Amino acid sequence: MSESGTARNDTAGRLNRGWRIFATGFSFTCFGLGALLLGFTVWPLLRLSSRDARVRVARVQRAVSASMRVFVWLMKSLGLLTYEVRGRERLAPHGQFVIANHPTLIDVVFLVGFMPEVDCIVKQALWRNVFLRWPVHWAGYISNASGEGLVAACVAALTQGRSLLVFPEGTRTRPGEPLAFQRGAAQIALAAARELRPVTITCVPITLHKGNAWYRVPPRRPHWVLSAGDPIPIAGFLKAGEPAPLAARHVTQALVHWFDVSITQQLDEMRKETRPGG
């Protein structure tokens, strides 16, 4: 390539990056304002739309899901990301316990978008967030404020036939560190005697990860792959006589191993596809 060609490419690359920084800021502003606006208008109205608490929570959750799909569509249309969902139909049935690894800020946006009715655990800080407190309130999401109460609330959601989404890491993955799961997901699965539906999330090149500001956009447009795997059975871990805390440790170890293998495979495959000339 000639020198002027390289310079042109550099300029194009810088322009593209500049655009993506601006568009990312724009998208997140839309997200915040949209959440605030809907939180004061559509969602309270939906909340009043039925006397039956189950019906109205389901309606709000469907609306939240639709708005998440709009947000993903916006980011995709602005050229900020591409994505691929594998086994999306597996996420549709009700009463599922879905767990996923958590590499990026917007994992929950994708997953809630794909699952029209799902209960999520929302960190306590968001119940005080000016943009998100009303949406999470109206949607009946579960706060992570108390340990025991949290597990009980999640088990109750599953026994009532609702779907539940949990990120067992409890926070976004720290790149370069070994995958670390808290034991809450295992405790819920054991207490509810439910199989787990794992979703492996990978993003190449990595962006919006822990400790990375939103405006530090990656060198090229990032691609997400979200794949819903085969269910992980829990029955084998419910051994008679084994103390519950020990069973939770064993399930957690098994889950970490499952995700380690699955994430590595998915990343290898994505990097092969994106290799120049490959």
Partner 1 sequence: MGPVQSTEEIFETLRGVLHELFEIDPAQVTLDAHLYNDLEIDSIDTIDLILRLKEITGRKIQPDQFRHVRTVGDAVNAIHALLQNKPAAA
Q: Which is nearer to partner 1, 39 or 184 (CB)?
A: 184
Q: Which residues of 146-180 are buried (b: 16+ CB within 10 A; e: fewer)?
A: eeeebbebbbebbeeebbbbbbbbbebbeeeeebe
Q: Which is nearer to partner 1, 33 or 244 (CB)?
A: 244
Q: How far is the CB of 150 from partner 1 (least distance, A)?
A: 9
Site for partner 1 contains 177 (CB under 8 A)? no
Site for partner 1 contains 183 (CB under 8 A)? yes
CA distances from 85 to 145, 202, 243, 273, 275 (A): 32, 11, 38, 16, 21
3-state SS assignment for residue 234: coil
Q: How far is the CB of 251 from partner 1 (least distance, A)?
A: 13
Q: Which is nearer to partner 1, 211 or 243 (CB)?
A: 243
The DSSP annotation for 147-192 comes to HHHHHHHHHHHHHTT--EEE-TTSS---TTS-----SHHHHHHHHH
* Sheet hosting strand 97-100, strand order edge to edge: 82-86, 223-228, 197-204, 97-100, 164-166, 119-122, 142-143
Site size toward partner 1 (CB under 8 A) is 14
> Given the structure tokens 């993955």, which residue do they identify?
173
Site for partner 1 contains 182 (CB under 8 A)? yes
Residue 204 token pair: 């190449």
Cβ neighbours of residue 73 under 8 Å, at least 6 residues apart?
none
Q: Which is nearer to partner 1, 9 or 253 (CB)?
A: 253
Q: Which is nearer to partner 1, 61 or 252 (CB)?
A: 252
Q: Which is nearer to partner 1, 144 or 262 (CB)?
A: 144
Site for partner 1 contains 187 (CB under 8 A)? yes
Q: Under rule CB under 8 A, which residues in 235-264 are in contact with partner 1?
A: 243-246, 248-249
Q: Under rule CB under 8 A, which residues in 101-160 are in contact with partner 1?
A: 146-148, 151
Q: How far is the CB of 234 from partner 1 (least distance, A)?
A: 16
Residues 214 and 22 sit within 8 Å (Cβ to Cβ): no
Q: How far is the CB of 131 from partner 1 (least distance, A)?
A: 29
Site for partner 1 contains 88 (CB under 8 A)? no
Residue 118 token pair: 């799902």
Q: Which is nearer to partner 1, 79 or 245 (CB)?
A: 245
Binding site for partner 1 (CB under 8 A): 146-148, 151, 182-184, 187, 243-246, 248-249
